[in-house]
């Protein structure tokens, strides 16, 4: 397959579309709730609208915080990110109770591209169980040599369509659209982090692994530190 390279403007535009897609639903619900408050005199309807606004505001905030770490700069070049912060935003991302996330990782700093990859793989793991279920995430190794394992278990689990090709930077169509940009971006981040990804499926469980790629010069050890 031919590797597809996006110019910076197309990449920025597609990522912006992705973030907007994630937040437009809760923001729209907030607007609807405010309209109900303005037009309704019934106390029960007003309380319903307030509950909708509260829930949607929390959801919008959680999705924006997740996007900031998963897609944003999250600090200057070469910065590290606390895995504890990544855990908080990842769990906030699943606020609808349809998907449960079990996070098993030591509290430490990792180079930001590895953490961004981990969060993007969480999204792909969720896509593997469209009807919901359980995602179990494990971080193995130390800050210099990390390995991620994500198991997504649920009804009709499947490797997300085109995910493997998009992660490899070689979409079957030869182009990347707003639907595929997240997996394509995850592949870019994986290569920048010196890591390689793989998928496996057995029964109702999809497993995604990411580990250091010895053939990638970006996999050279990076000094970072543990958090007490």
Q: Is residue 30 in some structural domain?
A: no
Mean pLDDT of 146-153: 96
Of 70, 180, 80, residue with least CA distance to 118 = 70
For residue 214, report the phi and psi dihedrals to the nearest 5 degrees: -65, -20
CATH number reported for the structural domain that contains residue 141 in this entry:
3.30.565.10
Q: Is residue 189 in some structural domain?
A: yes
Q: Which two tokens stand for residue 204?
A: 């109702």
Residue 2: predicted pLDDT: 57
Q: Give the number of C-alpha atoms closer than 13 A to the C-alpha of residue 96, restricted to the C-beta side.
A: 10
Q: What is the pTM of this model?
A: 0.89
The Cα 99–Cα 85 span in angstroms is 20
Q: Is residue 12 in some structural domain?
A: yes
7, 131, 159, 178 from 69: Cα distances, Å: 22, 25, 24, 19
- Summarised one tens digit per residue, pLDDT across range 130-149 is 999 999 999 998 888 899 99
- How many CB atoms sit inside 10 A of residue 76's CB? 7
Reported as a pLDDT band with limits 50, 70 and 90, residue 129 is: very high
Q: Is the Cβ–Cβ distance between 105 and 88 less than 8 Å? A: no
Task: Please give the span between the terminal C-alpha atoms of the chain, in angstroms, as a whole number.
Answer: 46
Q: Is residue 194 in some structural domain?
A: yes
> In terms of residue numbers, what domain contains 132?
8-21+77-219
What's the structural domain count of the chain?
A: 1
Q: Is residue 157 in some structural domain?
A: yes
Mean pLDDT of 146-170: 95
- How many CB atoms sit inside 10 A of residue 172's CB? 11
Q: Which two tokens stand for residue 103?
A: 């996070």
The Cα 9–Cα 140 span in angstroms is 36
- Summarised one tens digit per residue, pLDDT across range 23-81 is 999 999 999 999 998 887 888 888 999 999 999 999 999 999 999 999 987 654 558 89
Mean pLDDT of the chain: 89
Q: Is residue 70 in some structural domain?
A: no
Q: Is residue 60 in some structural domain?
A: no
The Cα 131–Cα 98 span in angstroms is 8
Q: Is the Cβ–Cβ distance between 221 and 145 less than 8 Å? A: yes
SS3 184: helix
Q: Is residue 65 in some structural domain?
A: no
Q: Which two tokens stand for residue 91?
A: 């769990």
Q: Is the pLDDT of residue 14 over 80?
A: yes
Of 135, 139, 77, residue with least CA distance to 107 = 139
Residue 4: predicted pLDDT: 84
């Amino acid at each position: 397959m031919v590797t597809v390279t996006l110019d910076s403007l197309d990449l920025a535009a597609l990522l912006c579309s992705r973030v907007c897609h994630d937040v437009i639903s809760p923001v729209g619900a907030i607007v609807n709730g405010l309209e109900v408050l303005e037009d309704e005199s019934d106390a029960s309807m007003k309380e319903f609208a307030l509950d909708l606004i509260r829930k949607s505001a929390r959801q919008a905030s959680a999705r924006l915080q997740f996007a900031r770490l998963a897609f944003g700069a999250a600090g200057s070049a070469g910065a590290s990110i606390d895995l504890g912060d990544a855990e908080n935003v990842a769990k906030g991302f699943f606020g609808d109770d349809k998907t449960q996330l079990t996070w098993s990782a030591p509290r430490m700093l990792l180079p930001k591209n590895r953490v961004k990859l981990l969060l993007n793989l969480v999204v792909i793991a969720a896509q593997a169980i469209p009807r919901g279920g359980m995602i179990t995430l494990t971080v193995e190794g130390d800050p210099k040599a990390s390995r991620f394992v994500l198991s997504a278990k649920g009804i009709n689990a499947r490797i997300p369509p085109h995910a493997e090709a998009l992660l490899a930077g070689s979409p079957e169509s030869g182009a990347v659209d707003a639907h595929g940009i997240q997996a394509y971006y995850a592949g870019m981040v994986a290569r920048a982090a010196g890591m390689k990804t793989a998928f496996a499926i057995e029964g109702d469980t999809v497993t995604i692994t990411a580990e250091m790629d010895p053939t990638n010069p970006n996999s050279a050890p990076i000094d970072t530190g543990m958090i007490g």
